[in-house]
Structure 1
Amino acid sequence: MFLFFFVFIETFYYYIFNINLTPSAIFIFFESNYIETNEFLYFYFDNYLLVYFLILFFNCLMVFFINTFKLKFSVPFLSKRWGIITSLIILLLLLRFTSLRHQNLPYLLLKSFYVVYFESKVYDLGVYKEEYGIFKETNKPEVSRDKLIVVIIGESTTSNNMSLYGYENNTNPLLNQINNLNVYKDVISPHAGTTASLCKVLSLDHYEDHKDKQQGAIIQLLNANSYETYWVSNQEPVGFAETAITKVVYSAKHKFYLNTGNTEEMHLFDEVVFNTIDNVIHKKNENQVLFIHLQGTHFFYKNRYPDTYQVFKGTTSYSPFDSPKNQEIINSYDNSILYNDYIVSTIINKVKDSNKESCVIYFSDHGEEVFRTIDFSGHNDEVGTLPMFQIPFLFWQSEKFMRNNAVDISLERAYMTDDLFHSIADLCDIQDEHVSLERSIFSSKFLQRKRIILNDKDYDSLLIREIGR
């Protein structure tokens, strides 16, 4: 039965992603909560896999029943014990000194368990449970200006399917009407998965120096500088993924998890965050940083929006991998972006109506491949197409904020969101030895750095190669 399980899992993965199973892929499985796992299977499991599953299972049962008959045989020159020992030694030598172990699911499972254990230790509460962490509390008297900074974190949204970025379908009619909205053209995520990306985005961790991941989170720095910190999430706070993220944001002074995974809440739309946002932004006499974690446009896409947003139907956009099934998926993804346009624009307008010295950042944790460069829809660091890293990055500021803060706007800056720690600190006018304005997209001191993705690949070199095709 174990052999049946191993063979089916490896074949299932290869069939979907067209690559061999890796420890990182298994690690992503442990990131997922029940809802995401259920939607993943519903999204990818098709009739071909069902037939393969039944054939494999039937053969497994046949072998099981055959083995119930005790067939005796003898080896004239070896005892049974020595035969088993010799076979095990040969097998272990093959696995140790060849690359076969890298294609062996038990080995991959063990390695992935190690990765999960290591990452859980890295993001241990011991690092993040303190209110200030490694940062020093400021003792200067604070004159409250009712400063409000809102950070909206989307999910699985690529800029390629947003009309703000030139997409043919009008997926951003509301955001397009907002004044003072800055649309950054060249921003990418550090990874194509939620946990890996956000644990960098929300902390000091970046690819040049991974030891920084154990040094502190942006929320701790904000706490140390007299900001009231809020974390509002429509993501279910279970599974390794959200557990790792909840550890990084553990020090937030006020936390609201609105999606607890109850049956009635399994498909809570992102508008559920509105009431909590209203309660927060209307508080007086405190400087606030409000983080909002949305479900965004995560697959299963049609579960991300109400029926009233089922606008795009039929053939509405071009794909080099066109088919009725693919077009249906593209339409549901575009509909989810249309609904996300409503969510983000509504939040910006709420902040605007608060009449505070305020600004809003919106970005997605990572992008999504939707039949743009390969015949596939989803995200995976192992597949690693460019749309999985190409994300929207929007910045809005009120008139009061513009008067009191010298934000250097340059929409063409090449930026990766693992430096968001420094950008938020810059907006909050925080001076700290751990803050580098050269890494802030809002600073005149910004310096472009090499953007490394997929472990060791230069994103900009890959982009030039892709454009040249």
Structure 2
Amino acid sequence: MPDSKTADSKNSIDSADSKDFKAQDSTNPPLPNNPLLSKIPPKNLAIFSDVISPATHTDIVLKEVLTFSNYENKAQIPWYKTMNLIDIMKLAGYYTSWISNQEVVSIYGNAPETIARRSNLTLFTTLSGSFSEKPYDEKILPLLDRVIKDREAKMGLKTLDSTKTRTENPPKIPNEIPSENLSNNPAKNSLNTQAKTQKNFYIIHLMGTHGAFKNRYPRAFDKFTKDDIKNPDLSLEQRQIRAEYANAILYNDFIVSEIIKRFKDKNSLVFYFSDHGEEVYDFRDFAGHTGSMVSRFMVEIPFLVFMSDEFIATYPNLSQKIQNAKNKPFMSDDFIHALLDVSGIKVGEFESSRSLFSDDFNQKRIRMVYDKNYDFELRNQSDKYAKLGSRIWLHRVNSVEKLHEFSKKYNSFEIDTHFLHNGERWYFDVGHDGLGGKNGVKSINLDLDLMLENLAKIEFIREPNAEARIWLDFKNLNAKNAQNALAELKRICDKNGISYNEIIVESGSWENLGIFKNAGFKTSYYVPYYDLKNMSEKEKMAERARLKKITESKNVDFLSFYAVYYDFVKSVSDIDLLTWDEGKELWKVVGEKYFKDKKIKAVLVGESGKSHR
């Protein structure tokens, strides 16, 4: 960064939520929603192609972006016990300003606000909470203008020489921050503070394109409509939301460009990046961000570096280093190392191998996000990969119509069957209640053969370690029909080219599941419904012993049960588990404790659609 004697030196970080700058919308053709940033000459704007965030939520991300915390060390040392960027910049002689359009107090965590308060000056556009409507990001601009004007007035720019070179040996900053150097006096956090430095460091925290997207831009930027989204796989509602997202990006392009304008005629370096990304129906029926079902779209972020003409002229070698790093793989939890490196600031916790701009940068670092290796497990996700994931199955798919209705959303399906004889032959009747229709739902005489014939034609994308895709709830398996049922199921699979291990045969008759397992099918014991609240401890102990006996019988691969019994069933043995929680919204299911258990191999979720029976 500019020499400590240069008053007109600016270092700005601009953070918001959005998608990759080069592919803000995956429509075909791409929408022109970055018209202003696209006009900045490449020599001034370095666009990075391979940057991800360490998490999908602002609080978690900024704990690491603004400190020396990362996934490798956070188990040993809490983020708040490492040095933070604000304190370092202050000790290096920068006047620090934090200007935010996000909430002052958040239910999701307050690490950003805690770090913000370390700044010489902290300004929020509104004193709002997590659920309050936020003003448009343009409210940031007059605050930024006010701060810049005040700083320049106090520094007396016209008397200063802005052509100095960067200090060759910048001062060493101690790891332990002397308390006397850090002021918590609110009186000093005002625009009337006397300038004690000639360098400025700004953090500008935008709302960006955070959902709900339609609330992120004024009417003047309502340019794109659902008709502009040329994706035939999306519903009209999904296209509308994608259009709103595109408009939010268009407005964000304006805001970021306006911020850059304020620094382009100064000796300045401006970083822009998102704290996390957004998935917006990119490859499945989901819009938003969640750690429980993380995707590449939630962590791939835009990362731009603007260099003013004066900065390039003053630091040609450094400018070239920044340009040379554009295609290197990077995760933003190491941003503090990169910024300190280009700023010429040395602290004990700095590691050159973590700086994107260093010759020592480790390009082989494993980028882990929620225990997933991004480059191995997430990077290649596409519109045909995984759908809703191998562990999310659709409950009660008992008609060909429902199968096709949801075939683009789900990979795996549960089908209810009864094994019956029609006077001529044995067959599997598809339906929850059999021919009698005991719950008022009569059989539609749908043969499992026809059902699996249709399912076999649906493209099935295998995920690593995912095999089964058909959960067959065999309602009336018994010792008398088991052999005939096995023969018929094998015939259907052979006819339709379905591997036996793609089917889980579930039944409460565990004694008769062994022949299915020995034939190559997966098998699961159906755990009955309990009134756990009214069961005595003796009764619970007896039931656990019974279940354990079943798991040790070698007849079953899984236990399947209603999700409310998770803690009870989990305590029985180490066998793999299947469960259902179809009364709960899908995205609430993925946040449940049981879903985080790797022993849970499938969760049935309910969705009726137009053809439910």
Question: TM-score band (shorter)?
Answer: 0.5 to 0.7
Give the Cα–Cα distance (whole angstroms) in 1 for the partners of residues 133 and 109 of structure 2.
15
> Once the 2 structures are TM-superposed, how far is the Cα of residue 302 of structure 1 from its aligned partner?
0.5
Please tell me whether the aligned partners of residues 382 and 454 of structure 1 are also in contact (alpha carbons under 8 angstroms): no
2:82 aligns with 215
Q: Deviations over 1:149-189 (max 9, x none)?
A: 11000124455752799970011001000121111001000
TM-score by length of structure 1 reads 0.65
What SS does the corresponding residue of 1:239 show, helix, strand or coil?
coil
| One-letter identity of the residue aligned with 2:5 | V
What SS does the corresponding residue of 1:401 show, helix, strand or coil?
helix
Q: What fraction of aligned residue pairs are identical, expressed as a percent?
A: 32
Q: Deviations over 1:34-93 (max 9, x none)?
A: xxxxxxxxxxxxxxxxxxxxxxxxxxxxxxxxxxxxxxxxxxxxxxxxxxxxxxxxxxxx
- 1:400-439 aligned within 5 A: 400-405=310-315, 406-407=318-319, 408=321, 409=323, 410-439=325-354
What SS does the corresponding residue of 1:148 show, helix, strand or coil?
strand
What SS does the corresponding residue of 1:315 show, helix, strand or coil?
helix
1:348 aligns with 260
Please tell me whether the aligned partners of residues 235 and 242 of structure 1 are also in contact (alpha carbons under 8 angstroms): no
Larger Rg: 2
1:383 aligns with 293
Which of the numbers 202, 211, 220 marks the counterpart of 2:66? 202
Give the aligned CA root-mean-square deviation in angstroms.
2.5
Structure 1 residues 222 and 228 mapped into 2: Cα distance closer, same or farther (>3 Å)?
Answer: same
| One-letter identity of the residue aligned with 1:291 | I
Please tell me whether the aligned partners of residues 295 and 378 of structure 2 are also in contact (alpha carbons under 8 angstroms): no
Moved more, 436-445 or 336-345: 436-445
Give the Cα–Cα distance (whole angstroms) in 1 for the partners of residues 299 and 309 of structure 2.
32
Structure 1 residues 383 and 164 mapped into 2: Cα distance closer, same or farther (>3 Å)?
Answer: closer
Give the Cα–Cα distance (whole angstroms) in 2 for the partners of residues 455 and 309 of structure 1.
35
> Once the 2 structures are TM-superposed, how far is the Cα of residue 250 of structure 1 from its aligned partner?
2.3
What SS does the corresponding residue of 2:46 show, helix, strand or coil?
strand
TM-score by length of structure 2 reads 0.50
Which of the numbers 319, 322, 338 marks the counterpart of 2:250? 338
Give the Cα–Cα distance (whole angstroms) in 1 for the partners of residues 147 and 326 of structure 2.
30
1:150 aligns with 12
Give the Cα–Cα distance (whole angstroms) in 1 for the partners of residues 361 and 254 of structure 2.
32
Q: Deviations over 1:301-322 (max 9, x none)?
A: 1010001111001322344741
1:191 aligns with 55
Which of the numbers 421, 441, 446 marks the counterpart of 2:356? 441
> Once the 2 structures are TM-superposed, how far is the Cα of residue 385 of structure 1 from its aligned partner?
1.0
Structure 1 residues 164 and 181 mapped into 2: Cα distance closer, same or farther (>3 Å)?
Answer: farther
> Once the 2 structures are TM-superposed, how far is the Cα of residue 440 of structure 1 from its aligned partner?
1.7
Structure 1 residues 142 and 372 mapped into 2: Cα distance closer, same or farther (>3 Å)?
Answer: closer
Q: Deviations over 1:116-160 (max 9, x none)?
A: xxxxxxxxxxxxxxxxxxxxxxxxx94234210110001244557
Give the Cα–Cα distance (whole angstroms) in 2 for the partners of residues 185 and 320 of structure 1.
28
Residue 255 of structure 1 pairs with residue 255 of structure 2: no
Structure 1 residues 381 and 321 mapped into 2: Cα distance closer, same or farther (>3 Å)?
Answer: farther
1:181 aligns with 45
Gaps (5+ residues) in structure 1? 1-140
Please tell me whether the aligned partners of residues 379 and 388 of structure 1 are also in contact (alpha carbons under 8 angstroms): yes
Structure 1 residues 314 and 366 mapped into 2: Cα distance closer, same or farther (>3 Å)?
Answer: same
> Once the 2 structures are TM-superposed, how far is the Cα of residue 438 of structure 1 from its aligned partner?
2.0
1:246 aligns with 113
Give the Cα–Cα distance (whole angstroms) in 1 for the partners of residues 338 and 254 of structure 2.
25
Moved more, 278-287 or 146-155: 278-287
Give the Cα–Cα distance (whole angstroms) in 2 for the partners of residues 152 and 315 of structure 1.
32
| One-letter identity of the residue aligned with 1:412 | N
Give the Cα–Cα distance (whole angstroms) in 2 for the partners of residues 200 and 189 of structure 1.
10
1:64 aligns with none
> Once the 2 structures are TM-superposed, how far is the Cα of residue 422 of structure 1 from its aligned partner?
0.9
Which of the numbers 196, 206, 221 marks the counterpart of 1:309? 221
| One-letter identity of the residue aligned with 2:40 | I
Q: Deviations over 1:241-296 (max 9, x none)?
A: 3622111232111100112129xx83310000111211233423320110000011
Structure 1 residues 356 and 453 mapped into 2: Cα distance closer, same or farther (>3 Å)?
Answer: same
1:99 aligns with none
What SS does the corresponding residue of 1:382 show, helix, strand or coil?
coil
Structure 1 residues 167 and 289 mapped into 2: Cα distance closer, same or farther (>3 Å)?
Answer: farther
Structure 1 residues 309 and 451 mapped into 2: Cα distance closer, same or farther (>3 Å)?
Answer: farther
Structure 1 residues 325 and 275 mapped into 2: Cα distance closer, same or farther (>3 Å)?
Answer: same
Residue 162 of structure 1 pairs with residue 24 of structure 2: yes
What SS does the corresponding residue of 1:331 show, helix, strand or coil?
helix
Give the Cα–Cα distance (whole angstroms) in 2 for the partners of residues 217 and 394 of structure 1.
22
Please tell me whether the aligned partners of residues 205 and 418 of structure 1 are also in contact (alpha carbons under 8 angstroms): yes
Which of the numbers 286, 299, 303 marks the counterpart of 2:211? 299
Structure 1 residues 331 and 216 mapped into 2: Cα distance closer, same or farther (>3 Å)?
Answer: same
Give the Cα–Cα distance (whole angstroms) in 1 for the partners of residues 257 and 110 of structure 2.
29
1:371 aligns with 281
Higher relative contact order (CA 8 A, sep 6+): 1
- 1:16-95 aligned within 5 A: none
Please tell me whether the aligned partners of residues 236 and 242 of structure 1 are also in contact (alpha carbons under 8 angstroms): no
1:90 aligns with none
Give the Cα–Cα distance (whole angstroms) in 2 for the partners of residues 225 and 256 of structure 1.
22
Give the Cα–Cα distance (whole angstroms) in 2 for the partners of residues 416 and 346 of structure 1.
27
What SS does the corresponding residue of 2:381 show, helix, strand or coil?
helix
1:399 aligns with 309
1:272 aligns with 139
Structure 1 residues 465 and 153 mapped into 2: Cα distance closer, same or farther (>3 Å)?
Answer: closer
What SS does the corresponding residue of 1:289 show, helix, strand or coil?
strand
| One-letter identity of the residue aligned with 2:127 | T
Please tell me whether the aligned partners of residues 101 and 137 of structure 2 are also in contact (alpha carbons under 8 angstroms): yes
> Once the 2 structures are TM-superposed, how far is the Cα of residue 217 of structure 1 from its aligned partner?
0.6
Structure 1 residues 313 and 423 mapped into 2: Cα distance closer, same or farther (>3 Å)?
Answer: same
Please tell me whether the aligned partners of residues 214 and 245 of structure 2 are also in contact (alpha carbons under 8 angstroms): yes
1:65 aligns with none
Give the Cα–Cα distance (whole angstroms) in 1 for the partners of residues 278 and 133 of structure 2.
22
Give the Cα–Cα distance (whole angstroms) in 1 for the partners of residues 370 and 25 of structure 2.
31
Residue 460 of structure 1 pairs with residue 324 of structure 2: no
Structure 1 residues 184 and 239 mapped into 2: Cα distance closer, same or farther (>3 Å)?
Answer: same
Please tell me whether the aligned partners of residues 145 and 357 of structure 1 are also in contact (alpha carbons under 8 angstroms): no
Give the Cα–Cα distance (whole angstroms) in 1 for the partners of residues 100 and 307 of structure 2.
23
| One-letter identity of the residue aligned with 1:336 | A
> Once the 2 structures are TM-superposed, how far is the Cα of residue 451 of structure 1 from its aligned partner?
3.9
> Once the 2 structures are TM-superposed, how far is the Cα of residue 417 of structure 1 from its aligned partner?
0.4
Give the Cα–Cα distance (whole angstroms) in 1 for the partners of residues 341 and 372 of structure 2.
29
1:19 aligns with none
Please tell me whether the aligned partners of residues 259 and 266 of structure 1 are also in contact (alpha carbons under 8 angstroms): no
| One-letter identity of the residue aligned with 1:154 | A
**Count of residue pairs the alignment pairs up:** 326
| One-letter identity of the residue aligned with 1:359 | L
Please tell me whether the aligned partners of residues 149 and 360 of structure 1 are also in contact (alpha carbons under 8 angstroms): yes
